[in-house]
Structure 1
């Protein structure tokens, strides 16, 4: 039996709580490639989807079946044919696609029906709804290539999907669509997921794929993953890449993420199915694990508002408890909220500082500089310091000072110099706690 250690579990669970609150009632379209299912990742992925569902997130699950169709064709002595990155679906391939789709739907519904003790599915009651939510049209003939029964999404019945989601069910979509005359078309998982996310104006579109995300250096397979791409940067990158023909090509999933964000989907993600729990890590941790494309940078450095009081209190409380910061009451922070600068990421406050001006002495105190341990070492402290310096200069101040008992070296490395407490402005000197013996450090603003 494994042990749960409160000193690690409790802080972790508290850190996750803001995301649980933020995403309750949101709609996510989550797509898993057929390669992920073939690699045996379905059961663990279904467990993670069930957890998201239990957290109050509306889930549309789209599955792919590229390798499953290839396997069916090979069993019939047929070869798979592709052009322009799409399957050419003749009558035999269409039959294989229908067989693969039916078999995978059976496996997915069976996975969601599990309820074994000591698993994430214990006590879960997840209902799956699928149906003819998609209308399709044929790809037709492109550059002389007849794609026959391959199709493109024409329309998504968003209203019907929303009604199904409102019943508490997960909506399951296969890459199949039908024409008004009843003709079936083989669609791509990527097209179905993107079109559905756009029609629903989903809060997230998530692809679980063969690739780990977009690397910072495309020509270096060991380069770190770029965890966040602004839409404008993603568009520039996409324009520089050749048209994709394989799912492992950088542009293959990126083109769909860009299309979704352009059409109003707030965020789209490319995650590796090879990493167990990738979906949970991307949704419930600050940096995630794959690449997220957003219409603008989610992290914002800004002046605080009254709505930030709770987040600031939660951020600084551990540092007050261990004596790093002087304790401040909610009333004090509410009164002084106009002095605060915060760093917010995805609705969560990860850093803050306050600037208290002493205009008669042409200086100001930077107080309560705090960065969450979760993101320390990423430069947020310096970003806040620079914003405080900018605010001080705009006020006509010539210097800023800090009082600290534990972090003087951090400030010295950034241009602060120690001074005697007698240097303090008279109004601040009267409030100086001689018992605490804080170091006073000053930085001149040029």
Structure 2
């Protein structure tokens, strides 16, 4: 079947409308929240940086309070090379000599002016049209010398001593974007070269920011198999810091900052790519995101059920079975199928459950599975626990190589459609599942592609 341009345009519009509707809860949740965004000098040089600036302007227009922290390593290196000055590194920090300080200050000042200029654009037919953004920078970071470490004098390289959070908050309250660079000032008037990652981390902690976002080279945190880790706890980061220490020192710095921030009051830390157009919006306004989220928040975990959960499952499922919402499952059947179930449990109570059943398919059929028995405790049905457990099973299905999911429901088809499923028919089911379809229940069929 061939789609004409009108049909293609309509399909694209519907996808946009669907995304926009589902982003509304995130827009409401993020309004008036404080985000610290850190990007290094490589990000500023990348072709996608102008799109990042447009997305930052959009976040600002949605009422998000923004602090931007930029790095400047490649720009400093270029200035030093032009001046034929050599500054070695030790412990991933540049040894900043007095003669090299002007190269550092010129690079940092140039980037700040570039950011201010990009955020001031207001050309018609551009994403910045009509945006009135006031950008503020200043001596918000007080620094102190990094000192002598391992016998090495770091000279004018420093570390963060304090952050003027009161001044930053005043500017944020006035709807300004605050821009910080990798420099700080001492009480004696000296300028110190700092790690941008440390400036961002300390600022987020002192502000008790709602989010700290690192825009780095890669999509997020990858494990040894190259798989993206969508969510991880700060306690799990030590392994990855060691893994990246030699090969990607900048990533190791991001992970250290993430670990410090997540354990000192910053609820969410995100790692995303500066090279991926729209990654910032995707991370903030979609359920799956675009990178890795690091959090130490203590939510109920979704997990695979075990035999001890059978009693709790029965208590949760029986009322729905008696109403005819769910098909009856005996204790024996639940015990036999317990590994197919996922649950959310808190204080010994099963708050939500669902099951994933891989379906037998023939050679010419897509690998398929059915999600069944989705149930949420009545006291928690206004929460997102149903979405959580569905998302968990979708990830499990992907790991099993499942290409499409089916659900059969008599009363909650609209909810599954909101979760990205599409209306389908009995004929769309794999042949083996069609043979077991109960025409007396007359369940609606919905499907979702995982490819």
TM alignment of 1:340-379, pairs within 5 A: 341=352, 353-354=374-375, 377-379=394-396
Relative to structure 1, the CA distance from residue 419 to residue 372 in structure 2 (aligned partners, 3 Å threshold; closer, same or farther) is closer
Give 1:58's match in structure 2, choosing from 56, 60, 65. 65
Q: TM-score, normalised by structure 1?
A: 0.68
Shift in Å, 1:81: 1.5
Please tell me whether residue 142 in structure 1 is matched to residue 143 in structure 2. no
The yes-or-no answer on 1:46 pairing with 2:49 is no
> Among 83, 86, 108, which residue is 2:93 paired with?
86
Equivalents in 2 of 1:70, 1:419: separation in Å?
Answer: 67
How far has the Cα of 1:132 moved from its partner?
0.8
User: For the residues of structure 1 that align with 2:246 and 2:258, how far apart are their CA atoms?
Assistant: 17
Q: For the Cα contact (< 8 Å) 1:85–1:246, is it kept in 2?
A: no
> Does 1:14 find its partner at 2:17?
no
Q: CA deviation at 1:9?
A: 1.6
Aligned pair in 2 of structure 1 residues 418, 160: CA closer, same or farther (>3 Å)? same
**Counterpart of 1:229?**
232
Counterpart of 2:32? 25
Paired residue secondary structure (2:394): coil
Q: Distance in 2 between matches of 1:13 and 1:173?
A: 32
Partner Cα distance (2:101, 2:215) in 1: 24
Structure 2 residue ranges without an equivalent (≥5): 304-324, 327-348, 355-371, 379-385, 399-424, 445-451
Displacement of 1:299 after TM fit? 7.5
Provide the aligned length of Structure 1 versus Structure 2. Answer: 344
- 2:367 alignment counterpart: none
Question: What's the C-alpha RMSD, in Å, of the aligned pairs?
Answer: 3.8
Change (3 A) 1:112 1:375: farther
* Residues 372 and 408 (structure 1), Cα distance of their counterparts in 2 relative to 1, 3 Å cut: farther
User: How far apart are 1:212 and its partner, in Å?
Assistant: 2.8
Task: For residue 232 of structure 1, report the CA deviation from its aligned partner.
Answer: 2.1
Structure 1 CA distance for aligned equivalents of residues 427 and 264 of structure 2: 46
Structure 1: 5+ residue stretches without partners? 303-324, 327-337, 344-350, 358-368, 382-404, 422-433, 440-446
- The answer as to 2:194 corresponding to 1:173 is no
> TM-score, length-normalised on structure 2?
0.67
The one of 42, 67, 70 equivalent to 2:74 is 67
CA positional deviation for 1:342? 7.4
Match of 1:192 among 199, 205, 216: 199
What is the rounded CA distance, in whole Å, between the counterparts of 2:131 and 2:258 in structure 1? Answer: 31
Aligned to 1:103: 110
- The CA deviation at 1:419 is 10
